[in-house]
Structure 1
Amino acid sequence: MGGIGVDHAFLALERELAVFLRRARASSGELAREVHPDLESAAYGLLMRLEDAGEQRATDLAAYIGVGKATMSRQLRALEGLGLVTRAPDPADGRAFLVQLTDEGRARFRRVRGARRARYARRLAAWERSEVAELARLLHRLNSSQEADEPGQTARVERDQ
């Protein structure tokens, strides 16, 4: 890898990730609209985090998603307006709020997520189960290394807690 030569492995990775990300963005928009026709595509990941991790402080959600407080507040107001999330005072800190899915939000999200998993299963039907697990492991490793490299991520999480 050292030096001036072109590393074809990284060129191939860049190319494949670009295609993957373009398709993922389009898919997120479709999935968000399946949850609710007025839902922004970026909100699907927010709903996923609430489903997976349970109630969260808005500042923790913003740090996890990688957006500022103002953007998170706007997204949460929109989700509340659609009846998908609710905010309640945090008993540990009266200045903060905990965000959670409503029953309607959870039901809509789970229906769409189940359909998405079924699509993955169909697309990867020819893959060995171990290959799917390896892809998940490698993507987790990539995501973890990206989180560690994002400037301000650790400071933002520590500041908001």
Structure 2
Amino acid sequence: MLAPETAEDLIAAVRALVRRSRSLNVRAQQADPEAMPNWLVALLANLEHGGGCRLGDLADRLGVTASTLSRQVAYAESLGYARRGADPDDRRAACLTLTEDGAEALRSHRARLVRLLQEVVPDWTDEEGRDLVDRLNRLGAAVDRFRDARP
């Protein structure tokens, strides 16, 4: 088991990494007017992995209100990145899906982030990067197991 001091250090390091990541995204957006805002990336990524979904379910997954999601979806639709259609399981409900343009925008965004990260850590070996990925995935899986075990 982790010592309390180590757990505190790990929490602080993860929080600091999230803050730094956000500031890096802001900087990338300032440098590239084509860059997508984080909320749009989250929306499109959820559609990509969810294979389409009801708006209420999507709002819950993203942790936003229905009215906030409604504005975000309208924007994504105006860009041609998402499409609203009838839910095949319930014709009264709307189902949102990712368009090919949305998938391409997401691929381009990820490619820019890859290039940016390569610039940030040019002295890292692939083995070091892979080790960090494995450890972060292990932490994420532990958090998921703990969350899912709770009522």
Q: TM-score, normalised by structure 1?
A: 0.70
Residues 35, 108 of structure 1: 8 Å contact kept: no
Residues 35, 112 of structure 1: 8 Å contact kept: no
The 2-side partners of 1:31 and 1:148 are apart by: 38
Q: Who is 2:89 aligned against?
A: 92
Report the Cα offset of residue 108 of structure 1: 1.1
Q: Who is 1:158 aligned against?
A: none
Stretches of structure 2 that go unaligned for 5 or more consecutive residues are none
Aligned residue pairs: how many? 145
Match of 1:21 among 10, 18, 22: 18
Could you report, residue by residue, the CA deviation over 1:29-62 in whole angstroms, capped at 9, with x for unpaired residues? 467786945x432221111111122111111111
The 1-side partners of 2:55 and 2:26 are apart by: 22
**1:129 aligns to 2:130 (yes or no):** yes
Q: Who is 2:139 aligned against?
A: 138
Q: Who is 1:78 aligned against?
A: 75
Could you report, residue by residue, the CA deviation over 1:97-137 in whole angstroms, capped at 9, with x for unpaired residues? 11111221111111222343455567453516354223222
Q: Residues 22 and 130 from structure 1, CA distance in 2 versus in 1: closer, same or farther, beyond 3 angstroms? A: closer
Q: Who is 2:38 aligned against?
A: 41
CA RMSD of superposed structures (Å): 3.2
Report the Cα offset of residue 77 of structure 1: 1.1
Residues 56, 100 of structure 1: 8 Å contact kept: yes
Q: Percent identity?
A: 28
Stretches of structure 1 that go unaligned for 5 or more consecutive residues are 155-161
Q: Residues 130 and 21 from structure 1, CA distance in 2 versus in 1: closer, same or farther, beyond 3 angstroms? A: closer
Report the Cα offset of residue 143 of structure 1: 4.9
Match of 1:69 among 63, 66, 70: 66
Write the letter of the residue equivalent to 1:113: R
Secondary structure in 2 matching 1:60: helix
Q: Residues 129 and 40 from structure 1, CA distance in 2 versus in 1: closer, same or farther, beyond 3 angstroms? A: closer
Q: TM-score, normalised by structure 2?
A: 0.74
